Amino acid sequence: MPGLDSTALMGAVPRPPVLDEPSDGTPPAEPPRPRRGEKVVKLRAHQTDTGYKSVYSELTRPSVWSRVRTGIRLTGEVLITFGLVVLLFAGYEIWGKSVIVNAHQEDLSSQLAQAWGPSGDPTVAPTGGPKPKPAPAVEGKPIAGLYIPKLDKNWVVVEGVEQSDIRYAPGHYPKSAMPGEVGNFSVAGHRNRATFWRIDELDPGDDVVVEGKDIWYVYKVYKTRIVRPDQVEVVAPVPMEPGVRPKEKLLTLTTCNPKFDNYQRLIVHAKLDHVLAKSAGRPPELGS
């Protein structure tokens, strides 16, 4: 058929118009010019052994200083995270443990009152007749009360000085004397805010009061010392003189030194000054 394009019979598709060429004959718009301070770098193909894998430019290529800045930033983030962890741990050591210890102390106080029975009530006078021999102390079980009026602190003392025993309470050295006995009633405690944190503030003449089942024992501090951890003679019946027969009724408190460390031991020695029956009320040293 005349007038027909021969390609139309072959199913050919007309070539689409070029989009970037304006149809009205106007010249194409120029690419935007870079603003002052900007640098335009053409992308280049990056050739590897297996062919062209990607493109990069001089603007995105890492430099020595960019790597240094990245390292400094990552180091700073790690240090900040580590600092937060340390702060959280310190907060737990200082305040968190106190809450836990105080809760366990309340439970131990209830156990001690139950073990002592009605005769442990200071309003009940002891009956006449021979007193039954006390049962041997069981490790981890409460045996006495301990009061330091100067520090406004008090605890229930348990039997034993293993870590499991003194985790929440001061512990009595099993082979040492009991409260009020001739010898050395020795007690160990952790150096945390809930326990023996401030016993370094005790001076000669300060009171340490021990509560027994029927008796209050009032001791007076006479000496403090710092020793090595292996100097266990401080809890001997006669402190620092192992093997010597005791003649006095003493009390010894031991804890770690300095605070937050344990390469030394802080020792406080006290001597029994007087006793008071619980039926007569609380000792004046404890206040009203």
CATH number at residue 175: 2.40.260.10
Q: Which of 172, 190, 269, 274 is catalytic?
A: 190
Check if 172 is active-site. Answer: no
For 220, the domain range is 142-286
232 within some domain: yes
Q: What is the pLDDT of residue 11?
A: 47
- Asked if residue 175 lies in contact with residue 231, where contact means CB atoms within 8 angstroms, the answer is no
Give whole-number Cα distances, 203 to 148, 162, 179, 207, 255, in Å.
12, 28, 21, 9, 16
State the 10-residue block means of pLDDT for the chain, 288 residues long. 48 52 61 64 59 52 75 84 67 64 93 82 46 74 97 97 95 97 98 94 98 97 97 97 97 95 96 97 90
111 within some domain: no
Alpha helices in the chain (DSSP H): 64-91, 97-116
The count of other CB atoms within 10 Å of the CB of residue 224 is 18
205 within some domain: yes
245 within some domain: yes
98 within some domain: no
- Which H or E run contains 251? strand 249-257
198 within some domain: yes
Q: Which of 46, 104, 172, 256 is catalytic?
A: 256
280 within some domain: yes
Check if 190 is active-site. Answer: yes
Q: What is the pLDDT of residue 134?
A: 64
- Encoded amino acid at 287, one letter: G
Q: What is the pLDDT of residue 276?
A: 97
- Asked if residue 226 lies in contact with residue 267, where contact means CB atoms within 8 angstroms, the answer is yes
d(C-alpha 271, C-alpha 221), whole Å = 6
Per the structure, the count of domains in the chain is: 1
d(C-alpha 52, C-alpha 55), whole Å = 8
- Asked if residue 253 lies in contact with residue 267, where contact means CB atoms within 8 angstroms, the answer is yes
Q: What is the pLDDT of residue 6?
A: 47
- Asked if residue 254 lies in contact with residue 187, where contact means CB atoms within 8 angstroms, the answer is yes
d(C-alpha 6, C-alpha 25), whole Å = 29
pTM: 0.67
146 within some domain: yes
Is residue 258 reached through a cis peptide bond, with omega within 30 degrees of 0 on the bond before it?
Answer: yes
